Amino acid sequence: MRPLALAAAVLLAAPALAADTVQIQVTGRGFEPQQVKAKKGQPTTLVFTRTSDRTCITAVDIPAENVKQLELPLGKPVSVTITPKQKGIEKFHCSAMGMGGGKIVVED
């Protein structure tokens, strides 16, 4: 096998870094759970599902991850994968008025 072909085969065979998945419901009470955990440098998929039309949270922002106005249609899961770069708290909230007060606790 040629060196270039061998290198390509190794890259294709290398396992991808799997993302953790966190389910977040958007209800009449806001985000449930309101606080989730993620690891610094590890891809994490947040799956938002809006289960109520009695909420102002129809879109979400995660400013630290540059996620803006992620639309949340009623009854349909919406996924976004983030990779936190710093330990600490990253906030998420509704796009319209900054309501909801969700937190991503980023650990080492």
Print pLDDT tens along the chain (108 aa): 454 443 444 444 444 556 799 999 999 999 999 999 999 999 999 999 999 999 999 999 999 999 999 999 999 999 999 999 999 999 999 999 998 999 999 999
Q: What is the pTM of this model?
A: 0.82
pLDDT score at 16: 54
pLDDT score at 97: 92
Q: What share of the chain is helix, strand, coil (3-state, %, to 5)?
A: 15, 45, 40
pLDDT score at 103: 98
pLDDT score at 25: 98
Q: Which amino acid appears at position 28 of this protein?
A: G
Give phi and psi for 24, each to the nearest 5.
-130, 120
Contact of 25 with 49, CB cutoff 8 Å = yes
Name the CATH code of domain 17-107 (choices 3.90.550.10, 3.40.50.150, 2.60.40.420, 3.40.50.10800). Answer: 2.60.40.420
Q: Which amino acid appears at position 76 of this protein?
A: K
pLDDT score at 13: 45
DSSP helix/strand/coil, 66: coil
